[in-house]
Copies of this chain bind each other. A is one copy, B any other.
Amino acid sequence: MTEFTYFKNDWTPVIDDYLAKHLADEVEDPKISQIMAYSVMAGGKRLRPLLFLATLNVLGKKIEEPEIRIACGIELIHTYSLIHDDLPAMDNDDYRRGKLTSHKKWGEAEAILAGDALLPMGIQWIAEGSNSAKLAAMITKAVGPNGMVGGQYLDIDSTNNASVAGDAKFINKMEWLKTGCLIQASVEMAAVYARATDIEQVKLVDFAKAFGRSYQIYDDLVDVVETSEEAGKATHKDEEEGKNNTLTLLGIDKSRKELKNLIKQAKDDLHGLNGKILSGFFDLYQKVL
């Protein structure tokens, strides 16, 4: 096994257990707690919390309860974004990770509110775990109108809009905001929290930018490479619904090439750091390369 696989296998169950336990313990109303946990515990890969923890590891920072709380806060926020993206007014998806989406399972008001509950609770965990106003400001910027939500807005605003279908700059920006900003924040918050030097911080942010961009392309490729059953959600859907992304722009072969370039670039960015575990995240892309 690679160092990355060991790291992932060590920390994924810790993240899962923390999420399950603290959603049960810290949300007073058992019904809304159940609705929140339904989506959070739906079998996500915990990519963003693992990125946060792996970055701490690169910087030699010990991982204890406060660090797990921050990592899990990021996952709550990621889950909120999935619940709201799936809503009937947005992508209108019935399945996610092989399970009914939140609004299909619990109702639309319940899904909106589960998201509305996960977002502030995620920020709360980050603020409490880090005791840092700077981290609270970083995460809120990353998911606000100039970050993740801004990307989702560009997405719905441009769906079925032929004038942007070939606009690479627009598509890059939209994808970056939707996915890249939160991934970058997961790495950058760890760098700030662990008091990385300026040089370390630049390298890590460069890595995070390349990784974030690569992850969106990977995610689009999975959409066409996997069958619907494997992916646990509706696949081949983007094209049918007039969604614009790098894949519809470049096609499969060129997207794959772009992905390989980004992987090389990201690994180069880590030069001089103890970056084996972070580099190992690209093992996750195996099936589309």
A108 contacts the other chain (Cβ, under 8 Å)? yes
Judging by beta carbons under 8 Å apart, are A127 and B117 in contact?
A: no
Query: What are 25 contact pairs spanning A and B, CB under 8 A?
Result: A26-B146, A27-B145, A28-B146, A29-B146, A32-B149, A32-B150, A36-B145, A87-B109, A89-B108, A109-B156, A113-B149, A115-B116, A116-B119, A116-B149, A117-B144, A117-B150, A119-B120, A120-B123, A120-B139, A121-B140, A121-B144, A127-B127, A127-B137, A128-B137, A130-B133
Q: A140 to nearest B CB, angstroms?
A: 4
Instruction: For A130, give the chain B residue with the smallest CB separation.
Output: B133
Q: State the oligomeric state as a number of copies.
A: 2
A110 contacts the other chain (Cβ, under 8 Å)? yes
Q: A116 to nearest B CB, angstroms?
A: 5
Alpha-carbon gap, A84 to B84, bound state (A): 12
Give every chain B residue within 8 A of A36 (Cβ-Cβ).
145
Alpha-carbon gap, A246 to B156, bound state (A): 40
Q: A181 to nearest B CB, angstroms?
A: 11
Judging by beta carbons under 8 Å apart, are B145 and A28 in contact?
A: yes
Q: A170 to nearest B CB, angstroms?
A: 12
Give every chain B residue within 8 A of A113 (Cβ-Cβ).
149, 152-153, 156
Instruction: For A156, give the chain B residue with the smallest CB separation.
Output: B109
A201 contacts the other chain (Cβ, under 8 Å)? no
Q: Chain A's interface: helix, strand, loop or mixed, by majority?
A: helix
In this complex, the interface size class of chain A, counting residues with CB under 8 Å from chain B, is: 35 or more
Q: A23 to nearest B CB, angstroms?
A: 9
Contact of A154 among B29, B119, B127, B128 (CB under 8 A): B29
Alpha-carbon gap, A113 to B132, bound state (A): 27
Give every chain B residue within 8 A of A33 (Cβ-Cβ).
145
Judging by beta carbons under 8 Å apart, are A120 and B133 in contact?
A: no
Give every chain B residue within 8 A of A137 (Cβ-Cβ).
124, 127-128
Q: A130 to nearest B CB, angstroms?
A: 7
Judging by beta carbons under 8 Å apart, are B112 and A150 in contact?
A: no
Give every chain B residue within 8 A of A109 (Cβ-Cβ).
87, 89-90, 156
What are the interface flags for A98-136 relative to B under an 8 Å C-beta threshold, 1 for contact and 0 otherwise?
A: 000000000111101101110111011001101111011
A141 contacts the other chain (Cβ, under 8 Å)? yes
Give every chain B residue within 8 A of A31 (Cβ-Cβ).
153, 157
Please provide the chain A residues from 66 to 106 with a CB less than 8 Å away from any CB of chain B in the complex.
84, 87, 89-90
Q: A257 to nearest B CB, angstroms?
A: 31
Q: A25 to nearest B CB, angstroms?
A: 11
Give every chain B residue within 8 A of A145 (Cβ-Cβ).
27-29, 32-33, 36, 117, 121
